[in-house]
Amino acid sequence: MKGQVLEFSVQTNSGVISGADGSRYTFAGSEWKGDNSPMRGMSVDFDSDGTNAVAVYKALGGGIASPGSKDKTVAGLLAIFLGGFGIHKFYLGYTTPGLVYLLVNTIGFSVTWMLVFLPNIVLGVIALIEGIIYLTKSDEDFEQTYVVGKKLWF
């Protein structure tokens, strides 16, 4: 049966799946057959044993199916090429950090040429580091950290 992971706790090594039939199924971590840990929103295939899911596999092409899903490549490239303006933060939905980038850049330019130079370099370096971090994470780690977990900085 097809379904989607609603939650998974590493502490209790158990989770809940919403099945395609509309029912919910609990599963133990020992029933997970994938390489990586199950994550909320992940599409799965499983067999049912009453209200328990057994032999749970990540569905082919079954990334995290969240409506606000973001592409790590786009976020990384935006950070590298337009990071000083905070475009990558706006792309990820982080308005406040994006405004911090944009305002520091704009105010720095308005005050003096020296203040423009220093904030742009600092923010550019930070954005470059963020872009590299985005691009080196696995798709699942990126989704979990920056889209689901809403980690704002680094």
pLDDT digits (tens, 9 = 90+) for 16-35: 999 999 999 999 999 999 87
Give me the pLDDT at residue 15, please. Answer: 95
| Euclidean distance between CA atoms 136 and 27, whole angstroms | 31
Whether residue 65 contacts residue 36, with contact meaning beta carbons closer than 8 Å, is answered with: no
Give me the pLDDT at residue 26, please. Answer: 96
**Is 26 inside a domain boundary?**
yes
Shared domain for 79 and 107, answered yes or no, is yes
| Euclidean distance between CA atoms 13 and 68, whole angstroms | 27
Q: How confident is the model at residue 97 (pLDDT cuts 50, 70, 90)?
A: very high
**Is 66 inside a domain boundary?**
no
**Integer-rounded Cα radius of gyration of the chain:** 20
Give me the pLDDT at residue 152, please. Answer: 83
Prediction pTM value: 0.44
pLDDT at 154 over 80: no
Q: How confident is the model at residue 113 (pLDDT cuts 50, 70, 90)?
A: low
pLDDT at 65 over 50: no
Shared domain for 77 and 143, answered yes or no, is yes
Highest mean pLDDT among 66-80, 92-106, 107-121: 92-106
pLDDT at 42 over 60: yes
Q: How confident is the model at residue 143 (pLDDT cuts 50, 70, 90)?
A: confident
Between CA 103 and CA 108, with CA 106 as vertex, the angle to 5 degrees is 100
**Is 9 inside a domain boundary?**
yes
**Is 63 inside a domain boundary?**
no
pLDDT at 118 over 80: no
Shared domain for 78 and 143, answered yes or no, is yes
Give me the pLDDT at residue 35, please. Answer: 79
Per the structure, the complete domain to which residue 34 belongs is given by 2-58
Token couple for 81? 């090429």
End-to-end alpha carbon distance in the chain = 38
Whether residue 8 contacts residue 15, with contact meaning beta carbons closer than 8 Å, is answered with: yes
Shared domain for 40 and 93, answered yes or no, is no
Q: Which of 29, 30, 33, 34 is nearest to 7 (CA)?
A: 29
Residues facing residue 27 across a β-bridge: 15
How many separate domains does the chain show? 2
Give me the pLDDT at residue 63, please. Answer: 52
Instruction: Provide the H-helix boundaries in 62-138.
Output: 72-82, 87-91, 95-111, 113-136
